[in-house]
Chains A and B, each alone.
Chain A
Amino acid sequence: MAIGKSIIRKEAWDKVTGRAKYTNDFTEKGMLHAKLVTSPYAHARIRAIDTKKARAIPGVRAIITGEGLPLTGEDLRDRPPIAFDKVRYHGEVVAVIVADTLVQAEKAANLVHVAYEPLPAIGTPSEALKEDAPLIHEQLGSYQKNKHTYPEPNTNIAHRTKIRKGNMERGWAESDVVVETRVSFSPSDHIAMETRCATAEILPDGQIMISASSQSPFMIKRLISTYFGEDAGNIVVHTPLVGGAYGGKAPVQLELLAYLAAKAVRGRKVRVWNTREEDMITSPVHIGLEAAVKLGATNDGYIKAAEILFLFDGGAYSDKAIDVSRAAAVDCTGPYHIENVWCDSLCVYTNHPYAAPFRGFGHSEQAFAIERALDLLAEKLDKDKWELRRKNAIRPGHTTPTQVPLNRSNVGDLPACLDRLRELMEWDKWQRIEIDAYTVQAKGISCAWKTSTIDPDASSGVILTFNSDGSVNVISGVVEIGTGTKTILAQIVAEKLKMDVHDVYVKMDIDTQTTPEHWKTVGSRGTFMAGRAALAAADDAIRQLKAIAACILRAPADDLEVGGGKVFLRDDPSIYVPVKDIANGYKYPNGNAVGGQIIGRGSYILRHMTPLDKETGAGKPGPEWTVGAEGVEIELNRRDYTYKILKAFAVIDIGKVLNPKAALGQVMGAMSMGLSFASRETFLFDRYERVLNPQLRTYRPIRFGEHPEYIVEFIETPQIDAPYGARGVGEHGLIGMPAALANALSLAAEVPLNELPLFPEQIWRKKKGDIHDSF
């Protein structure tokens, strides 16, 4: 009925008419405006903050600085919401001005004078790990942390995840060939088109009303309660449509500032809104990485051992960076069957803007490291690069690096993805051809996989209510950030209730007081968790409809079916009662009423998740592994090293395609983001670790006209416990793209390209033989 159809998203017409509203679109008269004062230094002691001139600006109502604020952070509480005593990254907030208008707040912010004493700034994880490196967090040992976080005091290591699987000695002994490679890239950014925004108002009755452009409205509630001692029930968060997030709006930052600002003006409503520059560096960014991979394989191409070191540039504060580093460790080998694995994944402090989750959550980072090593291994073994991957592809019966046994439900069919990719790419025809003296075309491939590593007790709830015409409202805590998940939920409910999807309405906005919680809109888990909850809610509604209909139709509930807007007798559909006649109570001809509002309730909680063992990493961090095989075809100009990305391929096992056009859009959009990141996105730092390009003029993503031809196909191996078998797919298109691009360009240029982004100058330098030290 609705599943498998390209149903147009519910909010489509609002979006094409400019009527869709995002957080910054809601204005209230009398609302106050905040402006952030940020640090021009990457590492410095704050000697004094002089706000005298700022206070004199008309309309300024409050100026907030960092004294007396609790430390924040989701795994390790190391971050003051406003810098206190020290600034640790360029762009860190040192004061917040609250004024009647944004212009007044701006004028005042410009007049705040801060005296800094610069400190040496650390720019890479390896620098941070040196013996004599300055400590970015001198008090690391005293920070509150959760149970499974292991900071190393008196170092710049916020956390270390260890993966120890199998027996490394045996693995190396069984290997005939060993390759070692290193990769690296600096932090970059999500650059969602909508910059972050939050408002806060505290009412006299104690209610704290927050509105936020966020992936985590429910986490905002939890954290404000935890950090500031407020009652969770008093905190209500409203999240409307969000203009892109890609992981960057999962952390909680501006919301805390808005809350503090409101507190400073006796609870009046205050809005904090990021300029692009602030959104890029003040708010958290896409993590950087230095990695070393060592692979051992037999002569006929079976990988026996993998030794991996991830040094993540988590930036100045650990917040979600620790979880990203953990997620990369969990899937460190890539989707390959490797029995002996040693991995240390460190979340390292540097004086860079701090990291947020970035679409893929550690997996495109992990893939880049492993897939470059695989190409190197293939070259050393003189084996076809596709063959090598196919031979070692992970399958049901194998285990993941954290020793989770895989079966046909919890892992997709990678061999099938690889087989189809090979066909689509015409891999056997050629992999590298010289078109003329200057032009070379080449292909590069990469596998991709991912499980989510969200909290083991993450859950999702859905409520269904009925309208007087029998149509249904779906109320879910999933945020519509662009993934189209809200429309998918409508499709799932329509399918279950056997009704027209146009009669299923979806509440787009989130209001944490009335919308059931969905843990966070992250991890490509929206469809899975909220979908399960929606199915449960639909079942619940069906049970209630049948119970009432059983009375009216004088038949056992077991003999009844719900569909087409009716509750009817299965063996004689002519005996029925319309849903709209019972959805709000049924009135007998004599006036008696029975039943009442049908309210369908459903929830889903992840099952059987366990934390990782501290020493071995063994544990079950996620419910399933989505796999895919990706590739690119490029054309390199060997004279000037410019290149074109001609084609980009992805074959992903998505379990069940719920909405074909939406799924394609998600995957192609993710692929584009991966190619953009790999080809040209990075923060550029000066020698004081200040960001030189915090604008879209100097940090330039792919534009219209630079896009390649996209060829995307899906394999459908159902995940048995997922709604209609569907696996999540929001992130996966991105994961293999950077590696595939680097593999293709390395082949074309005949020089290993292990650093991102892949600028023509980079390729030129490698060809010249310039040494780029990553460690």
Chain B
Amino acid sequence: MEASTKCEMQLLVNGETKSVVARQADTLLFVLRNELGLTGAKPGCLNGDCGACTVLVDGIPIKSCMMLAIETVGKAITTSEGLHNTAIQRAFVEHFAFQCGYCTPGFIMNAFALIERHPDADDSIIQEWLESNICRCTSYKEIEAAVKTVLANHPSIPNDDHF
């Protein structure tokens, strides 16, 4: 019988330190969803292909299905539940940039980080970043419009609350 590799980890998620017990082999996605009840990040493929599991680790978009939870100890994790009334969320709503909503948290995390990192992003940078996420419902046209609206208005629209 395999020995258990469970251990206690302190994870910093959305500005809050959380104590979780998980296997060392557990992915960040699994721990966020099953130990912390943060189900915004979604399993779409568990293979790093679709982006539905995207969260931010120290501000950088990461596919949480391909990262071990234990690796993130000491790093700041941000999930969609940690963004409150940000410009990108408002823009997604106003531009009808989602339908079923399953890919949306992943897109929003990636777009949020893109706008922070490249407030003057051009088409090629936008495409490079956002082609990491698949949306099956929309034509991507509304997502493009939402992201470009926020870029155009940046930084005059304040981001209310995020970690």
Does residue A770 face the partner (Cβ distance < 8 Å to B)?
Answer: no
Does residue A97 face the partner (Cβ distance < 8 Å to B)?
Answer: no
- Chain A contacts for B102, CB-based, 8 A: 22, 192-194, 243-244
A481 to B84, CA, bound (A): 25
Is the CB–CB distance between A483 and B42 below 8 Å?
A: no
Nearest B residue to A21 via CB reads B39
Does residue A671 face the partner (Cβ distance < 8 Å to B)?
Answer: yes
The listed residue with most B CB atoms (<10 A of its CB), out of A19, A665, A706, is: A665
User: In the complex, which range does the number of interface residues on chain B fall in?
Assistant: 35 or more
A10 to chain B, nearest CB (A): 11
- Chain B contacts for A695, CB-based, 8 A: 45, 47, 49
Contact A276 B104, CB 8 Å, known A6-B96, A703-B131, A704-B131: no
A715 to B142, CA, bound (A): 22
Residue from A18, A483, A704 within 8 A of B130 (CB atoms): A704
Does residue B44 face the partner (Cβ distance < 8 Å to A)?
Answer: yes
The listed residue with most A CB atoms (<10 A of its CB), out of B39, B94, B105, is: B39
- Chain B contacts for A276, CB-based, 8 A: 44-47, 49-50
Does residue A688 face the partner (Cβ distance < 8 Å to B)?
Answer: no
Does residue A666 face the partner (Cβ distance < 8 Å to B)?
Answer: yes
Is the CB–CB distance between A24 and B99 below 8 Å?
A: no
- Chain A contacts for B127, CB-based, 8 A: 704-705
- Chain B contacts for A58, CB-based, 8 A: 1
Q: Mark B68-93, 1 if CB is under 8 A from A, else 0.
A: 00000000000111011000010011
Is the CB–CB distance between A25 and B39 below 8 Å?
A: yes
Is the CB–CB distance between A243 and B39 below 8 Å?
A: no
Does residue A692 face the partner (Cβ distance < 8 Å to B)?
Answer: no
A640 to B98, CA, bound (A): 35
A715 to chain B, nearest CB (A): 20
Is the CB–CB distance between B101 and A11 below 8 Å?
A: yes
Does residue B156 face the partner (Cβ distance < 8 Å to A)?
Answer: no
Does residue A607 face the partner (Cβ distance < 8 Å to B)?
Answer: no
Is the CB–CB distance between A696 and B96 below 8 Å?
A: no
Does residue B100 face the partner (Cβ distance < 8 Å to A)?
Answer: yes
Does residue A121 face the partner (Cβ distance < 8 Å to B)?
Answer: no
User: In the complex, which range does the number of interface residues on chain A fall in?
Assistant: 35 or more
Is the CB–CB distance between A193 and B34 below 8 Å?
A: no
Is the CB–CB distance between A194 and B98 below 8 Å?
A: no
Q: Mark A178-207, 1 if CB is under 8 A from B, else 0.
A: 000000000000011111000000000000
A9 to B104, CA, bound (A): 14
Q: Mark A16-31, 1 if CB is under 8 A from B, else 0.
A: 1111111011010000
A526 to chain B, nearest CB (A): 13
- Chain B contacts for A243, CB-based, 8 A: 42, 100-103
Is the CB–CB distance between A669 and B43 below 8 Å?
A: no
A586-645 residues at the B interface, CB under 8 angstroms: none
- Chain A contacts for B134, CB-based, 8 A: 193, 696, 701, 703
Q: Mark B23-37, 1 if CB is under 8 A from A, else 0.
A: 100000000011000
Is the CB–CB distance between B136 and A673 below 8 Å?
A: yes
A479 to chain B, nearest CB (A): 11
- Chain B contacts for A194, CB-based, 8 A: 42, 44, 100, 102
Is the CB–CB distance between B136 and A701 below 8 Å?
A: yes
Does residue A15 face the partner (Cβ distance < 8 Å to B)?
Answer: yes
Residue from A8, A483, A702 within 8 A of B99 (CB atoms): A483
B56 to chain A, nearest CB (A): 12
Q: Mark A195-235, 1 if CB is under 8 A from B, else 0.
A: 10000000000000000000000000000000000000000
A663 to chain B, nearest CB (A): 10
Nearest A residue to B143 via CB reads A704
Is the CB–CB distance between B93 and A707 below 8 Å?
A: no
Is the CB–CB distance between B23 and A103 below 8 Å?
A: yes
Residue from A20, A662, A710 within 8 A of B101 (CB atoms): A20
Does residue A482 face the partner (Cβ distance < 8 Å to B)?
Answer: yes
Does residue B133 face the partner (Cβ distance < 8 Å to A)?
Answer: yes
A143 to B18, CA, bound (A): 56
Is the CB–CB distance between B80 and A18 below 8 Å?
A: yes
- Chain A contacts for B44, CB-based, 8 A: 193-195, 276, 696
- Chain B contacts for A718, CB-based, 8 A: none
- Chain A contacts for B140, CB-based, 8 A: 672, 702-705, 707
Is the CB–CB distance between B139 and A19 below 8 Å?
A: no
The listed residue with most A CB atoms (<10 A of its CB), out of B1, B34, B98, is: B98
A489 to B105, CA, bound (A): 26
A671 to B140, CA, bound (A): 11
Does residue B108 face the partner (Cβ distance < 8 Å to A)?
Answer: yes
Does residue B137 face the partner (Cβ distance < 8 Å to A)?
Answer: yes
B40 to chain A, nearest CB (A): 2
Contact A669 B137, CB 8 Å, known A15-B104, A18-B38, A241-B100: yes
Nearest 8 pairs of A and B residues by beta carbon = A18-B40, A243-B102, A482-B100, A18-B80, A15-B101, A705-B127, A482-B99, A668-B139
**Interface residues, chain B, with chain A CB atoms under 8 Å away:** 1, 23, 33-34, 38-50, 52, 79-81, 83-84, 89, 92-94, 96, 98-105, 108, 126-127, 130-131, 133-144
The 14 listed contacts between A and B (C-beta, < 8 Å) are A6-B96, A16-B93, A16-B98, A17-B40, A18-B80, A20-B101, A194-B102, A244-B136, A665-B99, A669-B137, A696-B44, A696-B134, A701-B136, A703-B134
Q: A17-B105, A58-B1 are in contact. List 14 more A-B contacts (CB 8 A).
A: A25-B39, A192-B102, A193-B52, A193-B100, A193-B134, A193-B136, A243-B101, A243-B103, A246-B136, A701-B134, A701-B136, A707-B140, A707-B141, A710-B139
